Amino acid sequence: MKYALCGGAYKGKNVIELLEKVAEHGFHGLEYLNWKSVPDVGELLKAQERLGVGISAVCTTFFNLVDGSLREQYLDGLRQTLDFCRISGTRSIITQTGPEMPGISREKHTSDMVETLKRCASLCEEAGVVLELEPLNGLVNHPGHFLQYSGESAGIIDRVDSPFIKLVFDVYHQQITEGNVIRNAVAYIDRINHFHIADNPGRKQPGTGELNYLNILKAIKDTGYDGFVGLECGYTIDTDEALDQFKRDIVRQVEQ
């Protein structure tokens, strides 16, 4: 498996300084979600070549898949993001689905999303970039978000039926929404392109809450998964110290 830092890991550092931290810790990528804040793509490319690591994931610019009337706005944002991905070599784009709309059936939300994602699939295939749906918990962080459950998410992926439309499985969100993290991660591994990890409660680094990340990551690794695991978390101690602990206490044992 490959490990990625997220852009918020070090407050105040720019994208190149963050990539330097990725390389320093022996990780494999940086999730830099707001790609529009990259000040100089040319300097980014030079840094990626020098360091041997790059941006592994970004977010698209507009997060509403459930409202069919906003389809063209969503596709325009995706096209812009794909242009950045082509230049930077980024191969994953994360998207949320938007809020549930009152008075609209769940099937209408879903069918509009599937139709938009089918349009997205052809754009992503041309660019060689995977678009990842991210279910979010509605209990703590994102009340009213439409897509929350991993099984429903996998069903939508199956309806779109494209290798360029997959899931990012956020362990923190799914622990809050439904639990059964290992069972669901393993069951839906063929639809998952990418994992996010943080502990619960608190959304801090692994080892600070109730989730046994040694067991979770071993189970994911045992499926043959070799993609990215992104640390989308805050830190209760100095970031460098927390990452050293994570590598020592979890990563080294998972990789044995």
17, 24, 232, 255: the catalytic one is: 232
Cα separation values, 171 from 139, 142, 178, 192, Å? 15, 15, 10, 12
134 is catalytic: yes
232 is catalytic: yes
100, 134, 152, 178: the catalytic one is: 134
Q: Which residues of 227-246 are buried (b: 16+ CB within 10 A; e: fewer)?
A: bbbbbbbbbeeebeebbeeb
> Using CA atoms, how far apart are residues 27 and 49, in angstroms rounded to an integer?
15
DSSP per-residue string spanning 137-155? -TTTT-TTBS---HHHHHH
- Provide the β-strand partners of residue 195: 169, 229
Non-local (6+) Cβ contacts of 179 within 8 A are none
Active-site positions?
Answer: 134, 232
